[in-house]
Amino acid sequence: MSYEGPEDEAPQPRSRRALTITFAALVPVALLGWLGWSALGDEPDRPAAAVSPPASAAPGGTSSPSASAGSLAGKVVVIDPGHNTGNFRHSAEINKQVDVGNGKKECDTTGTATDAGYPEAKFTLDLAHRLRTLLEKRGASVKLTHDGDREWGPCVDERARIGNTAHADAAISLHADGSAEGNHGFHVIMPGAVHAGGADTRPIVAPSRKLGARVAAGYRRATGEPFSNYLGDGTGMVTRTDLGGLNLSTVPKVFIECGNMRDTSDVALLTSGPWRQKAAQGISAGIVSFLHES
């Protein structure tokens, strides 16, 4: 899906009043001017200094990640846009039960939507495109579980398998919640320990928790969105053992519920293109931080 993110405006040069001075005065004035320019950091190619956020901005006192880390060359990230806009036309297929290790779950669901009809699946695919662009600019190899090119699905077990087969260094599933009005904010879902059937999350629980903390910190910093007021006890962090996309993963993976599509305040953000760009930047910053610390 094509999209237009906010355009970056090139810095405008400062106007400088022409000075009529003698040649004798020109040299010291020019030197002082150059020193002042350097002190202000306004040289065109000088990158802005990264500002470290307070430790309280992240769950568990972890400082928010900076997006200024180096190249992600050699790193693989799998992005899983939750649901599919075509799922509602394929109820038989998506209602088929699949094995998630400790039980059976539907292949997939239709996802939620705003009261005005903006579907979660459209939101997640747009956000996935924005996130992919940011990560590829950092040098990462990025794979989507689907790109709007399927009539329905894929099933949750296949979504996990795509990340496993790619040997992803990090995988993230993008979602928006469908809770009641008044429930607002975002939360990150991490895998709990599951060792049953074809599922064994024990090796990925710790790195997934670290990935989740970094994504939550980056997302909150970039968007200003608060932690969920209805899940996670105010921490923005939730652990679950009933999601096939997490249970069947063999690589570090988390879900992010970016907001509530049934809450008026969250909907105003989720339906905004510029805000979705901020969301992508926050998630990207968290993934970058995780990959450089791994």
Residue 257 annotated in active site: yes
**What is d(CA 80, CA 255) in angstroms, rounded to the nearest whole number?**
9
- Would you say 62 and 213 are in contact if contact means Cβ atoms under 8 Å apart? yes
Q: State the DSSP code for 155.
A: -
Q: Is the peptide bond before 154 cis (omega within 30 degrees of 0)?
A: yes
Q: Look up tokens 């992240």; give the residue.
A: 58
Output the furthest CA–CA distance in the chain (Å, rounded). 87
- Would you say 228 and 218 are in contact if contact means Cβ atoms under 8 Å apart? no
**What is d(CA 111, CA 139) in angstroms, rounded to the nearest whole number?**
31
Bridge-based pairing of strands 76-81 and 237-240 is unpaired
Nearest residue to 111 via CA among 80, 149, 144: 80
Bridge-based pairing of strands 253-260 and 187-191 is antiparallel
Q: Please, what is the end-to-end C-alpha distance for the chain in angstroms?
A: 31
* CA 151 from centroid of its chain's CA atoms: 25
Handedness of CA 63, 64, 67, 70 (dihedral sign): positive
Q: How many CA atoms lie within 13 A of 250 on its CB side?
A: 9
- Tell me the sheet residues that pair with 143: 78
The catalytic residue among 120, 158, 225, 257 is 257
- Annotated catalytic residues are 257
